[in-house]
């Protein structure tokens, strides 16, 4: 299930209409009418909720009407389904489209792509270096037999591994709030540090392989499907 949030102000007259349209959109897709709600005026509301007017519906962190946060504590207007006049709540069709688009690659499935992005980083740190001058003739002979010239690539391994690890960390950080939060990213950051230290600084195999294992765990953790989206207080009463 995708992550859905309804943001509103306590005195907004259009909240119930937004709630009803959201409920209809979910039911039309065969989904349970569950979502999170934030009163943007309450002290406990998250920062991202306070940046939108009322009412706003977010699907996987994105406004269904393609609006941008404007820090405005005001009521919003939307284009009606008939385009005749503005309305005070997101139309059902707009909400439904946003949920369908998010569901195509959303958080309800196991994401292999989020795991595969770590493969190049792990591969880079596993490449053996040519640090022993006595071994250079052997490497040169092997490469020559294959039609390649010998190049000592060892100095480039650390920068390459660092770049690939940064890409892997970005995949753990990107849209983390709509998946498993930032804990997989934190685990991946620790794993990257262990891998760099163990491979290129301290040459410690325990640190090195612990980092690889932790990075794999963080990637699988981040790729696991999100099973729920919270609950709607109004739906519990129905």
Q: 10-residue block means of pLDDT along the chain (238 residues)? A: 87 93 92 90 87 91 83 79 83 91 59 68 64 48 52 68 87 72 90 90 90 90 60 44
Sketch the domain layout of the chain as residue ranges. Answer: 4-106, 113-223
pLDDT at res. 226? 52
Place of tokens 């309800």: 108
Q: What pLDDT is stored for residue 37 in this prediction?
A: 93
Give the pTM. 0.50
Q: CB-side exposure of 40: number of CA atoms within 13 Å? A: 25
State how far the Cα of 201 lies from the Cα of 188, in Å rounded to an integer: 19
In this prediction, residue 234 carries a pLDDT of 44
| Cα-trace Rg, the chain | 25
> Would you state the pLDDT for residue 26?
92
**The pLDDT of residue 101:** 83
Query: Can you give the pLDDT at residue 224?
Result: 75
Can you tell me the distance from the alpha carbon of 175 to that of 154, in angstroms, rounded to the nearest whole number? 35
pLDDT at residue 189 in the model: 94
- Asked if 223 and 114 count as a contact pair (C-beta separation under 8 A), the reply is yes
Q: How far apart are CA 95 and CA 106, in angstroms?
A: 15
């Amino acid at each position: 299930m995708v992550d859905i949030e309804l943001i509103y102000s306590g005195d907004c007259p259009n909240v119930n209409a937004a709630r009803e349209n959201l409920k209809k959109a979910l039911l039309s897709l065969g989904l349970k009418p569950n979502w999170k709600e934030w009163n943007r005026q309450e002290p406990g509301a998250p920062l991202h909720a306070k940046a939108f007017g009322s009412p706003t519906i977010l699907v996987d962190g994105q406004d269904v009407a393609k609006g941008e946060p404007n820090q405005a504590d005001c009521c919003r207007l939307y284009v009606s389904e008939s385009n005749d006049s503005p309305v005070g709540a997101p139309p059902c069709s707009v909400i439904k489209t946003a949920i369908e688009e998010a569901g195509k690659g959303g958080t309800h499935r196991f994401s292999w792509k989020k795991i595969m992005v770590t493969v190049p980083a792990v591969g880079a740190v596993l490449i053996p270096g040519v640090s022993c001058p006595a071994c250079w003739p052997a490497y040169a002979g092997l490469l020559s037999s294959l039609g390649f010239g010998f190049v000592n690539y060892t100095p480039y391994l650390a920068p390459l591994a660092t770049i690939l690890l940064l890409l892997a960390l970005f995949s753990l950080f990107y849209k983390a709030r709509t998946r498993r939060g930032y804990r997989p990213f934190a685990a991946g950051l620790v794993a990257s540090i262990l891998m760099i230290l163990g491979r290129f600084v301290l040459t410690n195999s325990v640190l090195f392989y612990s980092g690889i294992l932790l990075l794999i765990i963080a990637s699988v953790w981040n790729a696991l499907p999100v099973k729920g989206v919270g609950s709607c207080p109004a739906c519990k009463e129905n």
